[in-house]
């Protein structure tokens, strides 16, 4: 089992640092570029939600992303924040059958997380949100 942790502030500019971190992680763990793309997308969606909607105050908050690769070829990312309780797994999926004119603008982020990852779990512990994202990387 290998572990890596990235701590970011609740600021959009941190997305740049996330992308750089994932590029480095991809090289170090020899992840294929498609997986790095997927991880970047999923974590951008999770972080953006937390940064935009997670906090009622204007204080600086730290959001932790813990990456681990298990021996059964799973990549697990835990996203941990101290914002107000929010379980994204409960969000309703968008209606993909609607024509462009009727498709609502936005609301795709959490759906993409659910579709791209193999498992998405949520729990609340010690006043923190834990979003556990698992991707099978068996090649």
Contact footprint for other proteins (CB under 8 A): 12-13, 15-16, 19, 33-34, 37-38, 40-41, 44-45, 48, 94, 96-97, 99-101, 103, 105-106, 108-109, 111-112, 115-116
Q: Read off the tokens for 112.
A: 């993409």
**Which residue spans within 28-73 are E strands per DSSP?**
62-69
Region of 127 (left: φ > 0; alpha: ψ -120 to 50; beta: rest) is left
Task: Decide whether 54 or 109 has the Cβ nearer to other proteins.
Answer: 109
Please tell me whether residue 57 adopts helix, strand or coil conformation.
coil
Minimum CB distance to other proteins smaller for 80 or for 110: 110
Pick 18 or 76: Cβ nearer other proteins: 18
């Amino acid at each position: 089992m290998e572990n890596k942790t990235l701590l970011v502030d609740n600021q959009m500019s941190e997305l740049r640092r996330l992308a750089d971190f994932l590029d480095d992680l991809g090289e170090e763990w020899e992840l294929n570029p498609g997986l790095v793309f997927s991880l970047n997308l999923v974590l951008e969606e999770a972080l953006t939600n937390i940064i935009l909607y997670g906090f009622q105050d204007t204080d600086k908050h730290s959001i932790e992303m813990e990456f681990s690769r298990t021996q059964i070829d799973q990549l697990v990312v835990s996203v941990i924040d101290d914002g107000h309780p929010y379980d994204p797994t409960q969000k309703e999926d968008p209606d993909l059958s609607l024509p462009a004119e009727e498709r609502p603008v936005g609301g795709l982020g959490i759906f993409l997380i659910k579709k791209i990852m193999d498992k998405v779990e949520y729990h609340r512990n010690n006043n923190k949100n834990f979003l556990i994202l698992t991707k099978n990387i068996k090649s």
